[in-house]
Chain A
């Protein structure tokens, strides 16, 4: 526990209570970060700073507000607390607004979750520059004479947070994070300049691939888009690449929150316990996964984090329900939002799967698009590669897929063996049958 942060949280709560709040929850976030980018073999940007912020949730006469500030001057904070409490009194009462029953704070994991890199303090400016230079060199080498512009990036953070509530919650978390990668633009025919990018993130520095390798993968992704064109509108199998899967999942997740359910804005309303996807889809939320980028032993309500199977072989098991919406819905809370999302991997590689899939599209990214959480209707642009009998025919762009989530996930026929491990979402590539892909 960081004493200075703990003291600030405790004194903020004390000030709020003495200003008339019945209960209060205070969150302090403190972060140090460094970000470096390179272009044309020199540093293009260097950015470094520390931030600190206070967020106060006030419960006053059955009323509720959230106040946050980065103005932490003592007098300013006192005035902030006083006016905040007074302001909260003007709102309408909300009988569902309370701090959680403290029993949900209990059982918090004490295990070392491997999210605070002990080597962080020893990461020198020289090493930071070396990583980004390595990424740039790897990218330039792989893109060769096709390269027009390469921007390599490295960023690292050390973040601490304290969450404290007047009914006995005291929680602390400290984590490090590293991001590195590149964006590579290459020359195609005419005025087309396809770009590929690849950013990897990890809690520990040793969790990232070698810098040159990260640079090369960005170049490979750009080169793979050369000569892209659209094909005729058709019904085809598609393989969605591991990194692109979270974008698809977000349409499901938006409909799984307590707010969406309670506000009747969810196509998954009344679907708990029902089969909403093919049996190939299992979705696990694991906030305690060691080294995960979404790992934390407690959630935003301070409730002890637990591993949960949200979708089990296609059956919707659980919603994301925080304390407030659990009271509105009259059900048990789970947790308010996703942590680390895991789709358990299958057994075959994408290359193996492609071989027996005939003609299809390997979707490596999305463009535009959206998803209607109330009805499940979704439509999104895709790009990637057209393949036939295991071989890439040509790159595709300016094409689109559209469906309703309740139908689309039923088309999931296989999960590949390649989970992307550089994100809080550990998703393998997914195969869908009979997808309408619109193009020319």
Chain B
């Protein structure tokens, strides 16, 4: 399927694009070997099972219940256009291993950027210092974890030559300018990251993954009657390079330009409590903030979350089901296994209105006596694992989107969200609406922009009064979630939803 898409790209590309891509074709696409052949860290860096066992033994030398090694080799590229030319590129290579010792709920952590025995043993010694008992022993043999692959790669992103990326970025720029004479500046970017991960744990798990992540981005500034507006759009995820067809280029440009131009008609957003309708897709950021973080098990086992005593309770109407899912093909938050070797899975947080499960890493799963849910994640080898979200979304309901808007009466409609935040103890959250509409007498009217919306998680859940049948995921490849100083890719999704009342932070009192 992927290769067919790829061919259609070559056939339908503008000549300039096709020429550049074709020139590099043999290098880029000649190698169809399985990109994820296991044994990468042994082949490249001499990391053998025997070495891992010695380092794990050192990590458990003062006791502790568990230890793991997280090897990472990440190559990240940015190709950037400004003022009409693709004239800068950034490349970052990250290499290292993080070593963790766990004793109960205590964590010792060390890491090194040199994958040789001496520095690894030293880092393991640092990790071991959290414990002060008798030495433990790691499993005598490691068993390779077999999982589904939610983001297979036929072609390594690192084997895609720069020549193939340049025309994509140039094409987005040219398309943006061709769409409107009001466009005065375009910045465009292609980002790709290929993260190689190997987890070796004292409980015998050995898991190896190749995690791609990428997006094509356009930022547009338009000028009209002396006023300027700016908007941006991107498409991506854990995609093959072949995903970036002329259709994708076109969609990125059209969305970026179209969404910028609409802002010239925006009116002042209202202020105060009112009904809010969230359109499908990225507006799922609402769930991420209003319930997601509060359901991360570390906050609950430490009693810091407003949801700490609500498992099993009815928190929403029966038509509300909210899940956190690592198994969605090619979405930003998908994981074949998490960063401590637990297979990717779908975790139901709210099941037909009942609060069902927290999101666990191995530490919290042990604390609660349940199986880990595959939410143990970290930004890099420099960071220890925390329970984190993957792709968080509300499943589709049965209402029709038009009826949802009609029922809202007077309020606002949210089309795009740029960021959000929550205070997990109170459950108070906020998300920033970069683009939306007024709802007047049950119909969408003037555009609005730049308005923060506030609410309280548990109250908001009770106020979800309609859920439509038009579920969508966000299509961005740039979605991130931050927690405890760590950023990890995350995905969002939602059908059209009516919340009876939220506080809209507009300027018109």
B109 touches A70 (CB 8 A): no
Count CB-based A-B contacts (< 8 Å).
Answer: 263
B312 at interface (Cβ–Cβ under 8 A)? Answer: no
Interface size bucket, A side?
35 or more
The CA of A72 and the CA of B87, in the complex, are separated in Å by 27
The CA of A230 and the CA of B456, in the complex, are separated in Å by 11
Interchain nearest-CB distance for B157 vs A (Å): 14
Which residues on B sit within 8 Å (CB–CB) of A203?
none
A193 touches B432 (CB 8 A): no
B420 touches A265 (CB 8 A): no
Please tell me which one of the listed residues B269, B302, B452 contacts residue A149 in the complex, with CB atoms under 8 A apart.
B302
Q: A47-B110, A398-B428 are in contact. Are A436 and B130 (CB under 8 A)?
A: no
Which residues on B sit within 8 Å (CB–CB) of A51?
113, 382
- Among the 9-residue stretches A87-95, A103-111, A163-171, A282-290, the one with 4 or more Cβ atoms under 8 Å from chain B is A87-95
Which residue of chain A is the closest to B165 with respect to CB atoms? A90
Which residues on A sit within 8 Å (CB–CB) of B16?
none
Count residues of chain B with CB under 8 A from any CB of chain A: 87
Which residues on A sit within 8 Å (CB–CB) of B289?
368
Segment 4-61 of A: residues with Cβ below 8 Å from B: 39, 42-52
The CA of A194 and the CA of B106, in the complex, are separated in Å by 24
Please tell me which one of the listed residues A46, A71, A439 contacts residue B107 in the complex, with CB atoms under 8 A apart.
A46
B411-439 CB contact bits vs A (8 Å, 1 = yes)?
Answer: 00000001111111111111110100000
Which residue of chain B is the closest to A80 with respect to CB atoms? B93
B93 touches A264 (CB 8 A): no
A91 touches B89 (CB 8 A): yes
Which residue of chain B is the closest to A376 with respect to CB atoms? B450
Q: A70-B96, A185-B425, A368-B419 are in contact. Are A45 and B87 (CB under 8 A)?
A: no
B370 at interface (Cβ–Cβ under 8 A)? Answer: no
Please tell me which one of the listed residues A47, A88, A438 contacts residue B89 in the complex, with CB atoms under 8 A apart.
A88
B91 touches A84 (CB 8 A): yes
- Among the 9-residue stretches B50-58, B337-345, B498-506, the one with 4 or more Cβ atoms under 8 Å from chain A is B498-506
A263 touches B187 (CB 8 A): yes
B1 at interface (Cβ–Cβ under 8 A)? Answer: no
Please tell me which one of the listed residues A42, A265, A367 contacts residue B221 in the complex, with CB atoms under 8 A apart.
A265
Interchain nearest-CB distance for B483 vs A (Å): 13
Which residues on A sit within 8 Å (CB–CB) of B85?
92-94
B106 touches A374 (CB 8 A): no
Which residues on B sit within 8 Å (CB–CB) of A358?
none
Segment 127-171 of B: residues with Cβ below 8 Å from A: 129-130, 162-163, 166
The CA of A97 and the CA of B94, in the complex, are separated in Å by 26
Which residues on B sit within 8 Å (CB–CB) of A48?
109-110, 126
Please tell me which one of the listed residues A91, A379, A436 contacts residue B88 in the complex, with CB atoms under 8 A apart.
A91
A193 touches B303 (CB 8 A): yes
A349 at interface (Cβ–Cβ under 8 A)? Answer: no
Please tell me which one of the listed residues B92, B303, B384, B509 contacts residue A234 in the complex, with CB atoms under 8 A apart.
B509
A192 at interface (Cβ–Cβ under 8 A)? Answer: yes
Q: A195-B425, A367-B430 are in contact. Are A90 and B166 (CB under 8 A)?
A: yes
A247-282 CB contact bits vs B (8 Å, 1 = yes)?
Answer: 000000000000000011100010000000000000
- Among the 9-residue stretches B201-209, B222-230, B248-256, B487-495, the one with 4 or more Cβ atoms under 8 Å from chain A is B222-230
The CA of A90 and the CA of B89, in the complex, are separated in Å by 10
A397 at interface (Cβ–Cβ under 8 A)? Answer: yes
The CA of A242 and the CA of B303, in the complex, are separated in Å by 30
Which residues on A sit within 8 Å (CB–CB) of B426?
188, 192-195, 225, 228, 397
Which residues on B sit within 8 Å (CB–CB) of A92?
85-87
B505 touches A400 (CB 8 A): yes
A69 at interface (Cβ–Cβ under 8 A)? Answer: yes
Please tell me which one of the listed residues A148, A264, A265, A402 contacts residue B505 in the complex, with CB atoms under 8 A apart.
A402
The CA of A87 and the CA of B93, in the complex, are separated in Å by 15
A393 at interface (Cβ–Cβ under 8 A)? Answer: no
B454 touches A70 (CB 8 A): no
A69 touches B454 (CB 8 A): no
Instruction: Say whether chain B's binding surface is mostly helix, strand, loop, or mixed.
Output: strand
B350 at interface (Cβ–Cβ under 8 A)? Answer: no
A357 at interface (Cβ–Cβ under 8 A)? Answer: no
Which residue of chain B is the closest to A183 with respect to CB atoms? B304
Interchain nearest-CB distance for B402 vs A (Å): 28
A381 at interface (Cβ–Cβ under 8 A)? Answer: yes
Which residues on B sit within 8 Å (CB–CB) of A91?
86-89, 162, 166
The CA of A369 and the CA of B422, in the complex, are separated in Å by 11
The CA of A303 and the CA of B389, in the complex, are separated in Å by 42
Which residue of chain B is the closest to A65 with respect to CB atoms? B89
A264 touches B91 (CB 8 A): no
Which residues on A sit within 8 Å (CB–CB) of B434?
370
B88 touches A94 (CB 8 A): yes
Please tell me which one of the listed residues B93, B305, B310, B505 contacts residue A380 in the complex, with CB atoms under 8 A apart.
B505
A2 at interface (Cβ–Cβ under 8 A)? Answer: no
Which residues on B sit within 8 Å (CB–CB) of A320?
none
B306 touches A192 (CB 8 A): yes
A233 touches B91 (CB 8 A): no
Which residues on A sit within 8 Å (CB–CB) of B269?
379, 402
A377 at interface (Cβ–Cβ under 8 A)? Answer: yes
B292 at interface (Cβ–Cβ under 8 A)? Answer: no
A117 at interface (Cβ–Cβ under 8 A)? Answer: no
Which residues on A sit within 8 Å (CB–CB) of B91?
65-68, 84, 87
B370-408 CB contact bits vs A (8 Å, 1 = yes)?
Answer: 000000000000101000000000000000000000000
B113 touches A72 (CB 8 A): yes
Which residues on B sit within 8 Å (CB–CB) of A67?
90-92
A383 at interface (Cβ–Cβ under 8 A)? Answer: yes
B33 at interface (Cβ–Cβ under 8 A)? Answer: no
Give 24 CB contacts A-B under 8 Å: A49-B111, A49-B112, A68-B93, A69-B92, A69-B94, A70-B113, A91-B89, A91-B162, A92-B86, A97-B87, A188-B426, A191-B310, A225-B426, A228-B426, A233-B272, A265-B221, A368-B289, A368-B429, A368-B430, A370-B418, A370-B419, A379-B451, A383-B423, A438-B509
In the A-B complex, the 6 residue pairs with the closest CB atoms:
A368-B430, A400-B505, A438-B271, A193-B425, A92-B85, A94-B87
